[in-house]
Amino acid sequence: MGKGRSKYKQGPPAPLDESLVTRKRKPENIPVESPVQSKRRRGGAAKGKTTNRKEKPTANRKEDSKRKRLSVAPPPAQEARKGLFDDDSDDRVTDDESDVEPGDLEVEDGGPSLKDDFLAGESDSDVYDSGEEQAGHIFSEDEDESDAEEKLTAANIEGLSRKLDAQLAHEAAEAQAELEESAMQTNIAGEPKPHILGDPDDKDDQAALAAPDVTLLRTRITDTIRVLEDFPNLAEEGRSRADYTEQILKDICAYYGYSEFLAEKLFHLFSPHEAFSFFEANEKERPHVIRTNTLKTGRRELAQALINRGVTLEPVGKWSKVGLQIFESQVPLGATPEYLAGHYILQAASSFLPVMALAPQENERILDMAAAPGGKTTYISALMKNTGCVFANDSNRARTKGLIGNIHRLGVKNTIVCNYDAKEFPKVIGGFDRVLLDAPCSGTGVISKDPSVKTNKNAKDFMLLPHLQKQLLLCAIDSVDYASPTGGYLVYSTCSVTVEENESVVEYALRKRPNVKLVETGLTFGREGFTSYRGKTFNEKMKWARRFYPHMYNVDGFFVAKFKKIGPTKVAAAANGIKADGILEAEGNGVDNDDVPFGGFDDEADKELMERAAKRRLKKKGINPKAVVAGGKAEGATSKRIR
């Protein structure tokens, strides 16, 4: 394993502390750990007799933790990734999924392009994969098992301890260098009003604003956050919040390399302070995680086998019984005998969550509507102990090859692979106990894996993707058997954090299908879904949906919502656009359904929406929408701009 490959424990990052911001950028990422986790790790190290890590004096430790909060990451150019998961050190983890298996790279014309691998079935648009239990599995309450795992961790502690020593030495050196440097610099926290926007008539001020030094750029971002969060005291005279917001968005684009469009969309999901943590987290690699295939082995056995091969690992967290986080490996994890024998799959931690929420039961009939390359399908089968039947569908034929490969390697025997456009369900087959729709999406939750998302998504993508997601979600609902004796559930997930692809899609489905309601996911962590966002209000039960962010949990960004179907979809009624009758009045889904027809997908309504948005976009660019003909060209003009 190459240098700098260390993975940090999953957990929330430390908050931004502007008072500690210096004008120096660190060359490497800083580990982020929750207090609980650092405590756990310290406790673990203390337990392990073999540890040789020296305890620092308290003062130094304090200093170190302060330093961690600086969280100074390199700008857009990311740390090179080398070979933990492959022998040739190629950078294969670019898509949403962790579920990316070596087999996925072999295919398609033109060589190993993961990016293409993750396209939606029928279009070439950049659509991302998102990369999974029963409520009972969420916490490992099995005491014997946790004892054994502690022993396992202890057995592994020597490796962890070596890694921690190196990490601490590195941090101490950095902290010292920063201390020395910051002593020579202005104390930013001491300045009552940061001079950010400056005098509009001062040429020097304006020149500095337009072309800042990259180090100053970062300082200006943190200064602007301070101003935005204490506006009455820190704003320069005559300047509005909008002026500062405009400036910080420009600075974020310049520093991290986002398009203005995406920077703005992502920035508004959070407070300025939190947005900064989010953008920072996207510059850091997420921990490498493997999922134990319980159809073939147990986590303890697997961990022991890998430790014997020189892998440094530990259980991913209390919330999963099957995940192992890899810190270091002497061997390529995609080619070990255990891998080839199907004892594990490389799968991002957040990709476990939708399956955990789905909570498949033995002997059920389950549909995984967009299944390739099969990280979630194979987890579903494992939880079902190879009983019942899983229909694993994906519209992209090439990608089903990877899916089939994983199914065979992992010894899954209860699955039927199919290759339909999921919009054809439930006509193909319906009446499922549970359905998982892990929808194609923009991948804004997995920017650390594929930074190209920063620039290659535009407003059109955020119209077309939700359009597809809404269509798929209605089909998913219609494929569930509301009268299933054990189920009647549907999980919708994406590896995107945008509201358009998540809450808005769920809200749409609640409106169109009064026969479903939102229920709790059973996931014990994750932030609540938005019940309101920038003037839009959503169903109050949207709080039961879960949002996962890289900066909060050190996992890929993800969204998970769970529905319970409470009545039949009247297919004939849907086709005719007939209003739902009173069957659902007793339960209802929280949406005012009085005038809601069970409808097929409302193409017309969406078309209108899209046209309106297209007009708004043109106007924003100073183009008269009326002067633009269908092909997008302004009539009689080479330029679209109308003067």
Ligand X SMILES: C[S@@+](CC[C@H](N)C(=O)[O-])C[C@H]1O[C@@H](n2cnc3c(N)ncnc32)[C@H](O)[C@@H]1O
- Smallest distance from the beta carbon of 440 to ligand X, in angstroms? 4
CA distances to 369, 532, 544 from 561, in Å: 15, 16, 7
Cβ pair 372, 394 in contact under 8 A: yes
Q: Which is nearer to ligand X, 14 or 120 (CB)?
A: 120
Say if residue 632 carries a ligand binding annotation. Answer: no
Displacement of CA 450 from its chain's centroid (Å): 12
Cα dihedral 538, 541, 547, 553 in deg (nearest 10): 140
In the DSSP assignment, the letter for residue 432 is B
Q: Which of 18, 99, 126, 149 binds ligand X (CB under 6 A)?
A: 99
Stretch that binds ligand X, among 146-154, 181-189, 281-289, 367-375 (CB under 6 A): 367-375
* Catalytic residue, candidates 418, 441, 475, 495: 495
- Closest by Cα among 599, 543, 467 to 123: 467
Are residues 329 and 311 in contact, defined by beta-carbon separation less than 8 angstroms? yes
Least separation, in Å, of the C-beta of 127 and ligand X? 6
Per DSSP, helices labelled H in 513-549 are none
Which of 10, 153, 361, 396 is the binder for ligand X (CB under 6 A)?
396
Minimum CB separation of residue 384 from ligand X in Å reads 16
Q: Which of 394, 478, 501, 507 forms a contact with ligand X (CB under 6 A)?
A: 394
Q: Is 370 annotated as a binding residue?
A: yes
Q: Among the candidate windows 123-131, 180-188, 198-206, 455-463, which touches ligand X by CB under 6 A?
A: 123-131
- In whole angstroms, what is the distance from residue 346 CA to residue 379 CA? 12
Cβ of residue 395: shortest distance to ligand X, in angstroms? 4
Peptide bond into 27 cis (omega under 30): no
**Candidate residues 20, 30, 120, 384; the one interacting with ligand X per rule CB under 6 A:** 120
Q: Which of residues 561-590 bind ligand X (CB under 6 A)?
A: none
Lookup result for tokens 């890998």: 306
Under the binding rule (CB under 6 A), the answer on residue 342 touching ligand X is no
Annotated binding-site residue? 375: yes
CB of 250 to ligand X, least distance (A): 32
Among 18, 33, 116, 129, binds ligand X (CB under 6 A): 129
The answer to the question of residue 92 lying near ligand X (CB under 6 A) is no
Does position 116 interact with ligand X (CB under 6 A)? The reply is: no
Q: Of 33 and 438, which CB lies nearer to ligand X in the complex structure? A: 438
Q: Interacting stretch for ligand X, rule CB under 6 A, among 54-62, 129-137, 269-277, 410-418?
A: 129-137
CB of 403 to ligand X, least distance (A): 7
Q: Is 394 annotated as a binding residue?
A: yes
Q: At what angle do helices 157-183 and 58-70 cross, to 10 degrees?
A: 80
Considering the rule CB under 6 A, would residue 478 count as an interface residue with ligand X? no
Cβ-based nearer residue to ligand X, 161 or 471: 471
Interatomic CA distance for residues 491 and 484, integer angstroms: 15
Strand order in the sheet with 312-315: 312-315, 323-328, 288-292, 344-346
466 binds ligand X (CB under 6 A): no
Quick one: 226 or 365, whose CB is closer to ligand X?
A: 365
CA 221/CA 612 separation, integer angstroms: 34
Instruction: Please tell me whether the peptide bond between 373 and the residue prior to it is cis, using omega within 30 degrees of 0.
Output: yes
Closest separation in Å from C-beta 4 to ligand X: 28
- Do residues 304 and 313 lie in contact, with contact meaning Cβ atoms separated by under 8 Å? no
Q: Is 495 a catalytic residue?
A: yes
d(CA 543, CA 518): 9
Looking at the Cβ atoms of 161 and 496, the one nearer to ligand X is 496
Q: 98 or 156, CB closer to ligand X?
A: 98
CA–CA separation, 538 and 132 (whole Å): 25
Q: Contact between 475 and ligand X (CB under 6 A)?
A: no
Nearer to ligand X, 222 or 350 (CB): 350
Beta strands in 462-522 (DSSP E): 489-494, 516-519
Q: List the one residue from 48, 102, 315, 374 that touches ligand X (CB under 6 A).
A: 374
C-beta of residue 21 within 8 angstroms of C-beta of residue 299: no
- 371 interacts with ligand X by CB under 6 A: yes
Query: Which of 547, 383, 411, 565 lies closest to 478, judged by CA?
Result: 565
Return all residues near 386 (Cβ < 8 A) that are at least 6 apart: 295, 411, 412, 413, 414
The binder of ligand X chosen from 138, 254, 370, 542 (CB under 6 A) = 370
User: Per-residue x/- mask for ligand X, residues 406 to 435, rule CB under 6 A?
Assistant: ---------------xxx------------
| # residues contacting ligand X (CB under 6 A) | 27
Site for ligand X in 288-317 (CB under 6 A): none
The answer to whether 523 touches 560, Cβ cutoff 8 Å, is yes
Tell me how far, at minimum, the Cβ of 348 lies from ligand X, in Å.
Answer: 9
Interatomic CA distance for residues 567 and 598, integer angstroms: 12
3-state SS string for 280-301: HHCCCCCCEEEEECCCCCCHHH
Identify the helix (H) or strand (E) that includes residue 221: helix 214-229
Using rule CB under 6 A, residue 461 touches ligand X? no
Q: Which of 526, 525, 437 is nearest to 489 (CA)?
A: 437
For the CB of residue 526, give the shortest distance to ligand X in the complex, in Å: 18
C-alpha to C-alpha distance for 565 and 567, rounded to whole angstroms: 6
Stretch that binds ligand X, among 126-134, 357-365, 535-543, 566-574 (CB under 6 A): 126-134
Cite the annotated binding site for S-adenosyl-L-methionine by residue number.
370-376, 394, 421, 438
**Which residue numbers are catalytic?**
495
Query: Given the rule CB under 6 A, which residues bind ligand X?
Result: 96-97, 99, 120-121, 129-131, 351, 369-376, 393-396, 399, 421-423, 438, 440
